[in-house]
Amino acid sequence: MSKLVVEQVSRIFPGVAGGEPTRALEPTDLLVGDADFVTILGPSGCGKSTLLRIVGGLETPTTGRVLLDGRPVTGPGAERGMVFQSYTLFPWLTVADNIAFGLVEKGMPANERRSIVEEWIGQVGLKGFAHHYPKMLSGGMQQRTAIARALANEPKILLLDEPFGALDNQTRALMQELLLSVWEIHKKTVLFVTHDIEEAIFMGNRVAVMTARPGRIKSVTPVDLPHPRHYTMKTSPEFSALKAHLVEEIRAESIKVAEQVA
């Protein structure tokens, strides 16, 4: 049985001031297995974030349902950790206290929390920054903390909504490798939304491509690249072939978007 089941999930936003309702997401199916890393790739406005937010329980689907380990998702919860594109560290908490946020909510005693926090600070390469406030950190460091904060909570699935979208290219590449190395150790189930084709291939075991607005998943492409993955892989022939294939898939959708606007 799949770990995560997305079954005929759609989302229609009610019209504003008597306007037409917006169809953000067409009925969509997706199956994600345990320890799978699925990237969701789509043109802007295709509803990929909406889909992720529905899985996260932050939005309610208009139709369909989401099951995690066979149990329906009815709202947000600690079992589905999320990392957002915007910087969402709590600015009044230090790096260590941010990472401990979910653990405190669970009522974990302070000494247990401390060792988990220390472990995660090490894994995301933030040694020496435990007592810094988010304002003192660069964007990349903030997102590392956000990933550690989500994972320290031991969610069943990790949801990432364009987590590196606001970072510069170099930082972004480093963060991709960091997240992959963490995944290679912990083998979490991951759903990763992006509009960057290279990122989708490099990160994922499978790439789900979405159609233009109103979106739905139109194809799932397996990525048979071995782990551990190294950045040099991005220039390999296998990688290029996958990229060429996905460029075609996504290009057709981007053209549709452009025509809709015109």
Partner 1 sequence: MRPLVPIPGPRRVLLGISFFVLFFAAWAAATFSGLVSPTFLADPVTMLMDGFTLITRFGFLGDIGITIWRVLGGFILAAIVAVPLGIAMGAYKPVEAFFEPFVSFARYLPASAFVPLLILWAGVGEVQKLLVIFIGSVFQIILMIAVTVGATRRDLVEAAVTLGAKPSGVVRRVLIPAAAPGIAEILRLVLGWAWTYVIVAELIGSSSGIGHMIIESQTLMATGQMIFGIIVIGMIGLVSDFLFKAINRVMFPWSLA
Checking DSSP bridges between strand 206-210 and strand 22-32, what pairing results, if any?
A: unpaired
**What residues does 72 pair with on adjacent strands?**
67
Q: Is 81 in the site for partner 1 (CB under 8 A)?
A: yes
Nearer to partner 1, 157 or 246 (CB): 157
- Continuous segment of H or E residues that includes residue 208: strand 206-210
For partner 1, which residue of 14, 19, 92, 109 counts as binding (CB under 8 A)?
92
Interface with partner 1 (CB under 8 A), residue from 12, 31, 58, 257: 58
Of the candidates 10, 4, 25, 1, which has an alpha carbon nearest to the alpha carbon of residue 214?
Answer: 25
Segment 123-142, which members bind partner 1 (CB under 8 A)?
133-136
Answer yes or no whether residue 145 interacts with partner 1 by CB under 8 A. no
The site for partner 1, by CB under 8 A, has a size of 32
**Interface positions, 203-242, toward partner 1 (CB under 8 A):** none
Alpha helix (H) residue ranges in the chain = 48-56, 95-99, 101-105, 110-123, 139-152, 169-186, 197-203, 237-261
Of 98 and 211, which CB lies nearer to partner 1 in the complex structure?
98
- The pair of structure tokens assigned to 190 is 């991951």
Alpha helices of 20-100 — where are they, by DSSP H? 48-56, 95-99
Site string for partner 1, 26-45 (x = CB under 8 A): --------------------
Applying CB under 8 A, does 72 fall inside the site for partner 1?
A: no
Does position 88 bind partner 1 by CB under 8 A? yes
Among 13, 3, 1, residue whose Cα is nearest residue 214? 13
The residue within the footprint of partner 1, chosen from 27, 101, 125, 233 (CB under 8 A), is 101
Q: Which of 8, 44, 74, 86 binds partner 1 (CB under 8 A)?
A: 86
- Give 145 or 211: the residue with its C-beta nearer to partner 1: 145
Q: Could you say whether residue 80 binds partner 1 (CB under 8 A)?
A: yes
CA neighbor of 8 nearest in space, from 55, 66, 73: 66
**Minimum gap (Å) between residue 179 Cβ and partner 1:** 17
Query: 35-56 burial by CB neighbour count: b if 16+ within 10 A, else e?
Result: ebbbbbbbbebbbbbbbbbbbb
Among the listed ranges 65-73, 82-90, 169-177, 205-213, the one in contact with partner 1 (CB under 8 A) is 82-90
Tell me the two tokens of residue 1: 């049985």
Tell which one of 21, 90, 230, 260 touches partner 1 (CB under 8 A). Answer: 90
Q: At what angle do helices 139-152 and 169-186 cross, to 10 degrees?
A: 20
State the residues that interact with partner 1 by CB under 8 A. Answer: 56-58, 75-78, 80-82, 84, 86, 88-93, 101-102, 104-106, 133-136, 146, 149-150, 153, 159
